[in-house]
Amino acid sequence: MVNHPTRINKYLSDTGICSRREADRLIEQRRVTVNGIVAETGYKVILGDEVKLDNKKISREIDTRIYIAFNKPVGITCTTDTSISGNIIDYINYPKRIFHIGRLDKDSEGLILMTNDGDIVNKILRTSNNHEKEYVVTVNKPLTDEFMQNMSSGVKILNTITKPCTVTKKSKHVFKIILTQGLNRQIRRMCAFLGYNVTKLKRIRIMNIHLGDLPVGKWRYLSVTELDHLNSLLSSSTNTEEASW
């Protein structure tokens, strides 16, 4: 580590343990100490400080950055808390510490990105960066023109109106939707507001990364071309905070 103060949440994310948002949660839960003192949000560490998580010493390593595309199955929970049954970390069982970028709820499947790069997480997740995520959604009754119009123009959920988005009908009960927003369980809430229940939800794209024919439950490394394009898309993105995704 270079010899200048580093914010404790960035230090933790650089170890590959978690994202900065998760680091903030760990700090709030008083699970992180620096030189034996419980760390507080905004605390800075320097070279030689002893940082512990749950009383276990951790250190930041200079390591190869890992970027993985994973086809998450239904039933797997996006959490780095390995005490939770069916967590994504144990399921993938990658030999190095990685964490997920954003989330898919337990009942949803499809593309989720995994990494040990804490900086890229913030750039991808921050809502104001307007990065696209594409989903295929199946609902419990036939789609109507009114439903399609309302979904695309905005729906009132969580005390706000959702941003306009692209919605395309694929069949009687199936549509595609492209979001640039990341409200909690957004698609399910939007559909419920309009009187529909989601029976299947699958994410097929995040920005330029496509799920393609990757089998459910399997993962692959991002290609050099994908990473180059992704970095180009992120070049003007801010990374000062994370958004719910």
Following DSSP, what letter does each residue of 144-211 receive, concatenated?
A: -HHHHHHHHH--EETTEEPPP-EEEE-SSSEEEEEES---TTHHHHHHHHTT--EEEEEEEEETTEE-
Query: Could you tell me if residue 239 is inside a domain?
Result: no
Domain count, the chain: 3
CA angle (94, 95, 101) in 5-degree steps: 40
Do 75 and 50 belong to one domain?
no
Query: Could you tell me if residue 192 is inside a domain?
Result: yes
Q: Which residues contact 244 (CB under 8 A, 6 or more apart)?
A: 125, 182, 183, 184
Query: Could you tell me if residue 240 is inside a domain?
Result: no
The count of other CB atoms within 10 Å of the CB of residue 61 is 13
Would you state the pLDDT for residue 240?
A: 40
For residue 190, the enclosing domain spans 132-206
CATH number at residue 146: 3.30.70.1560
By annotation, the residues acting in catalysis are 105
Do 115 and 104 belong to one domain?
yes
- What element of type H or E holds 46? none
Would you state the pLDDT for residue 245?
A: 40
Do 36 and 97 belong to one domain?
no
Query: Could you tell me if residue 169 is inside a domain?
Result: yes
Q: What is the pLDDT along the chain (245 residues), one digit of tens a residue?
A: 335 688 899 888 877 778 888 889 999 999 999 999 999 988 888 877 899 999 988 876 555 789 999 999 999 999 989 999 999 999 999 998 898 998 999 999 999 999 988 778 777 876 555 789 999 999 999 999 999 999 999 999 999 999 999 999 999 999 999 999 888 999 999 999 999 999 999 999 999 999 999 999 999 999 989 998 998 888 876 544 433 34
3-state secondary structure of 121: helix
Do 141 and 201 belong to one domain?
yes
Query: Could you tell me if residue 244 is inside a domain?
Result: no
Do 160 and 202 belong to one domain?
yes
Do 48 and 114 belong to one domain?
no
Query: Could you tell me if residue 49 is inside a domain?
Result: yes
Among candidate residues 191, 11, 207, the one with its CA nearest the CA of residue 125? 207
Residue position matching structure tokens 């890992």: 66
CATH number at residue 81: 3.30.70.580
CA angle (156, 159, 163) in 5-degree steps: 50
Which residue type is seen at 130?
A: N
The whole-angstrom separation of Cα 36 and Cα 49 is 10
Query: Could you tell me if residue 243 is inside a domain?
Result: no
CATH number at residue 50: 3.10.290.10
Check if the beta carbon of residue 128 is closer than 8 Å to that of residue 181: no
Do 153 and 201 belong to one domain?
yes
Query: Could you tell me if residue 51 is inside a domain?
Result: yes
Structural tokens at position 81: 């808390």
What Cα–Cα distance (Å) separates residue 217 from each residue in 23, 68, 74, 75, 214?
A: 27, 13, 9, 11, 9
Do 213 and 116 belong to one domain?
yes
Among candidate residues 7, 49, 41, the one with its CA nearest the CA of residue 24? 41
Do 115 and 145 belong to one domain?
no
8-state DSSP, 75: T
Do 220 and 122 belong to one domain?
yes
Q: Which residues contact 192 (CB under 8 A, 6 or more apart)?
A: 198
Do 82 and 175 belong to one domain?
no
Do 102 and 87 belong to one domain?
yes
